[in-house]
Homo-oligomer: A and B are copies of this chain.
């Protein structure tokens, strides 16, 4: 459902304090106090004292817009590499973005986990599997292979790599250089709705070879071709790695087609692709959407409100995100969180590349999608 205007929203915008409803105003008589005490004893809670918490005129996330600098993250990850071994128990040397609005929880948004994961030279993160869905996005570096169900998958700058739920996976660094990358998971949502299962796998990865291409790519990563041995339904994409080569080429061609006068971009100067499950054309996993955006120098996007939250990572070039009216200038690797129904837009100073992931599949599958795009910046 796309709406361009909405009474509740306008009301809230005129006076942000009006975003929440008011509770019933009742004098707290002794009788009422007694009733409330009895509610407490009976594990009950009246709506009329909670209305303002339970109902809002528009989404009012506890999560706040926030930017993390890669220049801050990377040294801390590096330092962790010196002080913290990777292995069973901790499982991963991952450092999660903790949204300042979420009370110290290691959550970027109420639904999304985003972390920098760091693997030192020749290190191995042991195999395990969990019901939660995960992906990796590589903003710089190479040399680690993530092994998904025994299939070694090279990780290189610009690659988007999948580990859908309940697949065994471990990582090993095949080089003498450390490597760090972005991990994205649906852990906050998954934990909230109580769906987590976990199993340990092997201490070392089950296949330590270092092939250029994973078996999943060799079987699945062709435009419009599907192996006859893989016709069954797949809720998540069978492609373990979406290579930068294709993402870059697709975006380059969209802008060229625009130059040639053909429809190809989302809006003037704004190319974008969605990573999809080739077996159904939908999102790569049931809980997370991933996209890559490229803006020409000088291009901007219109301020947009969306139900659902997202995390952006600057990949290349110079530009800024304006979130809820605040301008965040971004360098390579910087991360920005956009909570639900907080307006965002992008301004590109040079050609500006950004990776994005969000909980949009959750919002859409549950029937809650709404978008509001302002006419003017």
Copies in the complex: 4
Of B58, B66, B130, B193, the residue contacting A110 (CB under 8 A) is B193
A43 touches B223 (CB 8 A): no
A22 at the interface (CB under 8 A from B): yes
B84 touches A46 (CB 8 A): yes
> Contacts of A224 on B, CB cut-off 8 Å?
220-221, 237, 239, 242, 246, 275-278, 284
A325 CA to B132 CA in the complex, in Å?
A: 28
> Contacts of A375 on B, CB cut-off 8 Å?
none
Of chain B, the residue at the smallest CB distance from A56 is B196
User: Given A66-B43, A68-B42, A224-B277, do A79 and B35 touch, yes or no (CB 8 Å)?
Assistant: yes
A2 at the interface (CB under 8 A from B): no
A320 at the interface (CB under 8 A from B): no
A26 at the interface (CB under 8 A from B): yes
Query: Among residues 73 to 105 in chain A, which have CB atoms less than 8 Å away from a CB atom of chain B?
Result: 73, 76, 79-80, 83-85, 87, 89-100, 104-105
A190 CA to B43 CA in the complex, in Å?
A: 22
Of B96, B236, B368, the residue contacting A190 (CB under 8 A) is B368
A91 touches B55 (CB 8 A): yes
Q: Which chain A residues have a beta carbon within 8 Å of chain B's beta carbons?
A: 6-9, 21-26, 29, 31-32, 35, 38-39, 42-51, 53-61, 63, 66, 68, 72-73, 76, 79-80, 83-85, 87, 89-100, 104-106, 110-111, 115, 130-132, 165, 187, 189-199, 215, 217-229, 231, 235-237, 239, 242, 246-247, 249-250, 253-254, 256-257, 260, 262-266, 272-281, 284-287, 291, 307-309, 339-341, 359, 361-363, 365-368, 370
8 more contacts with CB within 8 A, not counting A38-B76, A57-B198, are A21-B91, A48-B84, A194-B339, A215-B257, A215-B262, A222-B250, A227-B274, A277-B281
